[in-house]
Amino acid sequence: MNWANTKLAEEMIAKADADGLPNDHVLRTTAFYFNEACLGYFSDPQTCDMRRFIGCWARARRAWCNYTGEDLV
């Protein structure tokens, strides 16, 4: 899989790997969708619009904060 080199997605996958989370865990799935949105948003031609990109980021950030206990804002 290609990775978009985003800190959030990389941290999410690293945490999921470290904690031995299954492939269908929310931390992994939201990291995957956020990564795909990043690749699409920054591609040429663009295959992901701003609304979808921000939505994927928000879901990934919320999943990260819910799992780690980090503050959302």
C-beta pairs of 33-42 under 8 Å, 24+ apart in sequence? 33/59, 33/60, 34/6, 34/8, 34/9, 34/59, 34/60, 35/1, 35/3, 35/4, 35/6, 35/9, 38/4, 38/6, 38/9, 39/2, 39/4, 42/4
Q: Give the pLDDT of the chain (73 residues) as one tens digit per residue.
A: 677 779 999 999 999 999 999 999 999 999 999 999 999 999 999 999 999 999 999 999 999 999 999 998 8
Domain annotation covers residue 73:
no
Is 2 inside any structural domain?
no
In a domain, residue 26? The reply is yes
Residue-level pLDDT at 1: 63
Q: Is residue 18 part of a domain?
A: yes
Range of the domain at 26: 7-68
Does residue 1 fall inside a structural domain?
Answer: no
The total domain count for the chain is: 1
